[in-house]
Structure 1
Amino acid sequence: MKSVACAFSVLILAACGGGGGSEIAGGSNEIKKAAQAFSASSLDNIADSELAAFGNAVGDKKIVVLTEPTHGVAQALDLNARLIRYLHEQKGFDVLLIESGLFDVVNMNELKQSRAIPFTQSAPGRTYYGFSRDAHGQKIFAYVDQTQKTSKPLSLAGIEVMMEGVASTGLFVSRLEARLQARNASLLRDPEWQTYKVIAQRLTSNPEYTDAPVELPAFKRVQELVKAEFCTAPASQESHFESDGFWCRAVHSLSGTMGYVWSKPKQLDYNERGFVAGHNAAWLIDRPFAGKKVIVLTHALHGFAAGSELKTSTGKVLADRYPGQIHTSHITASKVFDPNEATVKGTLEFELDQLGQFAYMSYPADAATRNLLQGSSVREVNFVPQTPNRFGSAYQSLFYVRQVNFTTPDWSGYPTIY
């Protein structure tokens, strides 16, 4: 499966460089008072009691967005696995939505129900490889599997467009056609149905940086007929392959992929993708998981709402739909690309580094401390230093680790199960 964010080499080039900002003049003591050091020697072992401040910051919010500055960061995966466990066990969150294909994760649930295949085994090849083909990311699926044997199983779903998973590339077109046949849909007799199928199959492979086919207008015309078939008063709203409500969102995901890869010549349009992913998440929240408290796990580029570089990020769609109901977390570090990297004075990382290896800070309630933070730099999307930072607007909880490491996918150790 292709990366769902920039390649690490591009990220490193983009994020290297200065991290300076105006010094937090006289503010070190205030920042230290507002922040909390963790005594744990590893992120896996942070005690529930030490996460209580995070839990208090979440409060009674119904949606928590857990972000990664970029994909493939071991510490971000470890932290988010720990936060997922805390939110599920201590705060009553029963649903995990991840940045992976809507269709592919439904196939994972199907494999669990029909063949008892655990998520740890079905995830490789169906979810983003940074989650599924590394021991750090696998902690997330291992915990979800663990909960399936309890009285409070954690539900798992994907929110993304077609991202080259083996389920979407191998099953989408044939199962779509079978579903339409079961409905005796007249559009199957459309003279351009075969053209539609060819282009739909191509889209399931997420054809980034390619030219759009000349038959795209025919595809778009038939696509609207398919949407009308499933999205006009859908008969059912469950998240499985027999649900017309699900197929409505699956077909919209195909449109999202089309907009992502072909709305701009050989460029990627993350706004098109984020719009559909956000509405996929909203459909899951409102329909299959109505009344549940939901965790969304995604890249900060997609998860940030206010202050996002995107006009229609996933986080922006959700914030507009559920005002006042979302709490977003972020993780930063002082040593990202070199263990000898200097921690720059005037950055929030410099202040948090004084507390120890791991620290946490919720957006302060008092105006004086907020004012101290305004001029400081924080490493945000792709660890790029941001001044002014978006603490308080894009995210309300900030976790700090002194040093991060990038993971390497283990393709042979985590093979695809068919």
Structure 2
Amino acid sequence: MMQITWISGLLFALALPAAIAQTRSPEWDTWLTKNTCAITDKNASDDYADLAAFGAAIKDSRIILLDEQSHGEENVFALKARLVRYLHEKHGYQVLVLESGLYDVEHIWRTTETANTIRSQAPGNVFYLYANSPAMQGLFEYLQTQKQGNAPLILSGMDSQHTGTYARQYLLNDLKNQLNKTGNTKLGNNIFWSKFAELSLALFNMDRTAPDTKTQEQYFQFMQQLKAAFPSSEQYFWQRIVASIEDQARRYWGNRHEHRSAVMGENLLSLLQHRYANQKIIVWGHFVHLNRSGLPRHGNLGHLVSDRFKDKAYVVHFTGNKGSYYNFFNDQNTPVLSFPAKTIENHLERQPGPYNFTDWRKLPPHLKQDVSMQAALSSYIPQGLFELPEAGAHWHERVDGTFYLNKITSTKP
């Protein structure tokens, strides 16, 4: 799930100063007009003719990463849900990986039945703005229906942070059972196990109270033993569960935040290597995690995946120029920031269709180097909330395609 506190120091505004943005060249405008394709807002429709340009852009990709700017945009969720259905039905994508707890979502998928549906299990186990979004309810029902067929769209999680009800109820018992299955019964019966379980459960409840230094040392020493207990590739899932718990403890107790996205990426790479080795994957999460270029001083999921899979990974960005989004920092509907007159969004607003799509991989090399376009893609999140230094000068290296929505609508938590 998305951790609320750490993001306040990161602003991912993709724009350089407005004065630079005003100088965009006519050639750049001409290219945008020719390469921007109208998209409908028929989110419940199975008519995907308007997505042909998007389909052509991603046709050789194994991994599609669908970002979002705030976690609080209802029509972005609806459009992403439509894209998920399209990718599953028309392009054979087989797995949807959400920015939610690795264990929690695994438990949902493993236990879901008609009487115990994905939709009914999502609240309390999936990131709350996903679990309670009206648009997401339709997606959960689609996943449920498809699970009964011959080509299900598998639901998975990737987050290294575990705060769901299932993690609190079952994770530690399941971990002990796995230790017993691997012949490591001594660890499960270790004198420190009860303290380990107590401290880990507090983490799952998002209690950031740090134990004393000696107890922390004992905890992390015990974690090393746990990691050594799952050495084989067949035990990859529990390797990543233990690594995730360790990272959550180090972040909460040390008040550091920067490694979560990279650990999340390692979780995803492990799934890709071991469980979904020959399958096509859709990843759903925040821009901070999914953009190709990483975070200041540290990597992120998008950087790790792009480094491994190169152009087989395609990052899709969603933006707009009007409307509002739900700001989970203050529980308020927040107006979308307006952009300078020469930013890309202002140009895209004038294109046909309530939404539109642009494939930035088609940009000619000389336009990629044109200083007039380097400030052209902006963020509607206020500066001071998310920041990637020098993002404006390198935005085309962070995302591969963009969906523009004429008016962003706020979700309801």
Shorter-chain-normalised TM-score: which range? 0.7 to 0.9
In the TM superposition, what is the alpha-carbon distance from 1:272 to its structure 2 partner?
1.8
Letter in 1 for 2:162: M
8 Å CA contact 2:104, 2:164 repeated in 1: yes
What residue in structure 2 maps to residue 350 of structure 1? Answer: 346
Counterparts of 1:257 and 1:206, CA distance in 2? 9
What residue in structure 1 maps to residue 327 of structure 2? Answer: none
Distance 1:30 1:168, change over 3 A: same
Distance 1:41 1:227, change over 3 A: closer
8 Å CA contact 2:68, 2:287 repeated in 1: yes
Distance 1:86 1:340, change over 3 A: closer
| Secondary structure class of the residue paired with 2:410 | coil
What residue in structure 2 maps to residue 359 of structure 1? Answer: 356
Determine which of 258, 265, 269 is the counterpart of 1:278.
265
In the TM superposition, what is the alpha-carbon distance from 1:146 to its structure 2 partner?
2.4
In the TM superposition, what is the alpha-carbon distance from 1:309 to its structure 2 partner?
4.1
Q: Structure 1 residue 204 and structure 2 residue 191: aligned?
A: no
What residue in structure 2 maps to residue 393 of structure 1? Answer: 397
Supply the RMSD in Å over aligned alpha carbons. Answer: 3.0
8 Å CA contact 1:78, 1:136 repeated in 2: yes
In the TM superposition, what is the alpha-carbon distance from 1:132 to its structure 2 partner?
0.8
Determine which of 378, 403, 408 is the counterpart of 1:404.
408
Counterparts of 1:181 and 1:46, CA distance in 2? 48
1:366-377 correspondence runs (5 A): 366-370=364-368, 371=370, 374-377=373-376
8 Å CA contact 1:35, 1:361 repeated in 2: yes
Q: Structure 1 residue 251 and structure 2 residue 242: aligned?
A: yes
In the TM superposition, what is the alpha-carbon distance from 1:253 to its structure 2 partner?
1.4
Distance 1:18 1:65, change over 3 A: closer
Letter in 1 for 2:237: F
Structure 2 gaps, min length 5: 325-333
Counterparts of 1:127 and 1:340, CA distance in 2? 26
Letter in 2 for 1:106: E
What residue in structure 1 maps to residue 222 of structure 2? Answer: 222
1:18-33 correspondence runs (5 A): 20=18, 21-23=20-22, 24-26=24-26, 27-33=28-34
In the TM superposition, what is the alpha-carbon distance from 1:372 to its structure 2 partner?
7.2
Counterparts of 1:43 and 1:36, CA distance in 2? 17
Identity of aligned residues (%): 23
| Secondary structure class of the residue paired with 1:68 | coil
Distance 1:298 1:373, change over 3 A: farther
8 Å CA contact 1:162, 1:206 repeated in 2: no
Q: Which moved more, 1:120-129 or 1:135-144?
A: 135-144
What residue in structure 2 maps to residue 136 of structure 1? Answer: 135
8 Å CA contact 1:4, 1:163 repeated in 2: no
Counterparts of 2:83 and 2:380, CA distance in 1? 20
Distance 1:213 1:398, change over 3 A: farther
In the TM superposition, what is the alpha-carbon distance from 1:228 to its structure 2 partner?
0.7
Q: Structure 1 residue 178 and structure 2 residue 177: aligned?
A: yes
Structure with more contact order per residue of length (Cα contacts < 8 Å, sep ≥ 6): 2
Counterparts of 1:100 and 1:351, CA distance in 2? 35
Q: Which moved more, 1:186-195 or 1:310-319?
A: 186-195
What residue in structure 2 maps to residue 67 of structure 1? Answer: 67
8 Å CA contact 2:126, 2:164 repeated in 1: yes
1:209-358 correspondence runs (5 A): 210-214=209-213, 215-230=215-230, 232-234=231-233, 236=234, 244-263=235-254, 267-269=255-257, 271-306=258-293, 308-309=295-296, 311-337=298-324, 342-356=338-352, 357-358=354-355
| Secondary structure class of the residue paired with 1:345 | coil
| Secondary structure class of the residue paired with 2:392 | coil
| Secondary structure class of the residue paired with 1:136 | helix
Question: Which whole-Å deviations, capped at 9, do the CAs of 1:353-373 have from their partners, x for residues lacking one?
Answer: 111431110103323543376
What residue in structure 2 maps to residue 165 of structure 1? Answer: 164
Question: Which whole-Å deviations, capped at 9, do the CAs of 1:77-126 have from their partners, x for residues lacking one?
Answer: 1111011111111111101111000110111022215x752211111111
Letter in 1 for 2:348: L
Distance 1:274 1:307, change over 3 A: closer
8 Å CA contact 1:162, 1:205 repeated in 2: no
What residue in structure 2 maps to residue 121 of structure 1? Answer: 120
Distance 1:4 1:339, change over 3 A: closer
What residue in structure 1 maps to residue 100 of structure 2? Answer: 100
Structure 1 gaps, min length 5: 237-243, 410-418
Using the size of structure 1 for normalisation, the TM-score is 0.84
8 Å CA contact 1:353, 1:402 repeated in 2: yes
